[in-house]
Amino acid sequence: MSGDVTAQRVLVVGSANVDFTVAAPRLPAVGETVSGGTLLVNHGGKGANQAVAASRLGAEVRFVGCVGDDDSGREIRAALEAERIGVDGVGVTREAATGTALIVVDGEGRNQIAVAPGANWRLALEHVRSRADDFAWAHVALCQLETPLETVAWALEEARRRGAVTVLNPAPVREGLVDLWRFVDYLTPNEGEAERLTGIAVRDLRSAAAAGHALRRRGVGTVIVTLGAAGALACTGEGDGERVMRAPAHAVTVVDTTAAGDAFNGALAVALGGTSRLEDALRFANAAAALACTRRGAQPSLPTRAEVDGLLRASERGDLP
Ligand code: RIB
């Protein structure tokens, strides 16, 4: 990927939140109060994060989502526009406030996230259907599970019908998942999500591959299990059998892992919209995810194309930090 010029058209259908993040000495246990943290307020939401990631990496991006009729919603829309993202598909509801996430990050960069979805759960099927032009425009369509499942299923089916590559980041895994697997070209669970989706305890590469194969048998094209510091493992193949491909992570100093998965998905969408091979796309996405771990917050942490290309070149030369 390094050096490729990209002008892929990525459509993201998903969530947008305001994130209140406390960097604390450690994560609280049930019923415990942990003091001594510092607060960061910024924009998040898996959908908006993935849209920002793809735009910073050089794609043309449009976002379809729903915010509240409040200051947060207006600020989110303006911020997405400032990132060069098409926001005509951002609807506004008076029935709920803009989505909010409460995040705690510990000294090792691990997080706990609780979300009040608010307006994200008011993203109506009629609204998504009204964005037909966006589906016709897109090379890649990217969804997550923070909006109503019927909108996710419809978006994936419509994108597939229009000839776009479809990517589903199944985060967070929810009850009542409809049968949408056959519309998914690339499914990108992390270890916990792969485990919840399959019942297979994902503890190592072997069990990650077993979960990936199980999800492929449901009709998904390629399953990419993200494994944190162990990189990513892809289960793919056509006709003549299964192929497993592993891309190691880039070693970085981890500050905050929030939105690392979103950086991975946004970058993957950019790479898949181009001509890159799957292994190059995985390296590119791993580099974006690694860089997102080196900075605090969700959208403030998402890297630029120059940063990702720089890390890939450093990794090729073997002079990593
Ligand atoms: O993936 C990180 C995101 O999850 C945060 O930005 C938060 O808003 C939640 O949606």
How far, in Å, is the centroid of ligand 1 from the Cα of 228?
Answer: 16
pLDDT of residue 179: 85
Query: Pairing state of beta strands 38-44 and 17-23?
Result: antiparallel
Neighbours of 44 (CB within 10 A): 30
**Please, which pLDDT band fits residue 112 given cuts at 50, 70 and 90?**
very high
pLDDT tens-place string over residues 65-107:
999 999 999 999 999 999 999 999 999 999 999 999 999 999 9
Look at residue 320 in the predicted model and tell me its pLDDT: 60
The answer to the question of residue 28 being in a domain is no
Question: Considering all CA atoms of the chain, what is the largest pairwise distance in Å, rounded to the nearest integer?
Answer: 57
Residue 6's CATH number: 3.40.1190.20
Best of 49, 143, 145, 262 for a ligand 1 pocket test (most atoms within 8 Å of beta carbon): 49
- The answer to the question of residue 105 being in a domain is no
Binned at pLDDT 50, 70 and 90, residue 273 comes out as confident
Q: Is 29 part of any domain?
A: no
Nearest CA to ligand 1 atom 10: 45
3-state secondary structure of 178: coil
The pLDDT mean for the chain works out to 94
pLDDT beyond 60 at 1: no
CB-ligand 1 contact for 19 (6 Å cutoff): yes
Q: How confident is the model over 21-40, as pLDDT tens digits?
A: 999 999 999 999 999 999 99
Query: Which residue, judged by its Cα, is nearest atom 2 of ligand 1?
Result: 259
| pLDDT for 52 beyond 90 | yes
311 domain-assigned: yes
- How long a stretch of residues is the chain? 321
The DSSP secondary-structure symbol of 231 reads: -
For residue 7, give its domain range.
2-16+46-98+120-317
The pLDDT confidence band at residue 113, using thresholds 50, 70 and 90, is: very high
Distance CA 13, CA 242 (A): 30
Please compute the mean of the pLDDT values over residues 282-308 and round it to a whole number. 97
**Does residue 301 have its Cβ closer than 6 Å to ligand 1?**
no
Q: 174 is written with which tokens?
A: 């929810």
Probe target for ligand 1 pocket from 15, 19, 120, 256, with the most ligand atoms within 8 Å of CB: 19
Query: Does residue 246 sit within a domain?
Result: yes
Please determine, for residue 54, whether its predicted confidence score (pLDDT) is greater than 60: yes
pLDDT digits (tens, 9 = 90+) for 188-199: 999 999 999 999
pLDDT, tens digit (0-9, with 9 covering 90-100), for 214-261 = 999 999 999 999 999 999 999 998 756 789 999 999 999 999 999 999
Flag whether pLDDT at 276 surpasses 90: no
Nearest ligand 1 atom to alpha carbon 43? 6
Domain count, the chain: 1
Q: How far apart are CA 148 and CA 163, in angstroms?
A: 23
Q: Determine the atom of ligand 1 nearest the C-alpha atom of 298.
A: 6
**Does residue 160 fall inside a structural domain?**
yes
pLDDT at residue 175 greater than cutoff 50:
yes
Q: Is residue 243 part of a domain?
A: yes
How confident is the model at residue 321, as a pLDDT?
56
Q: Is the per-residue pLDDT at 5 higher than 60?
A: no
Share of the chain above pLDDT 90, in %: 91
Assign 189 to helix, strand or coil.
coil
Catalytic: 262? yes
The CB of 113 under 6 Å from ligand 1? The reply is yes
Binding site membership of 151 for ligand 1 (Cβ less than 6 Å): no
Residue 177 has a pLDDT of 84
| This prediction's pTM | 0.96
Residue 21 belongs to a domain: no
Q: Say what the pLDDT of residue 209 is.
A: 97
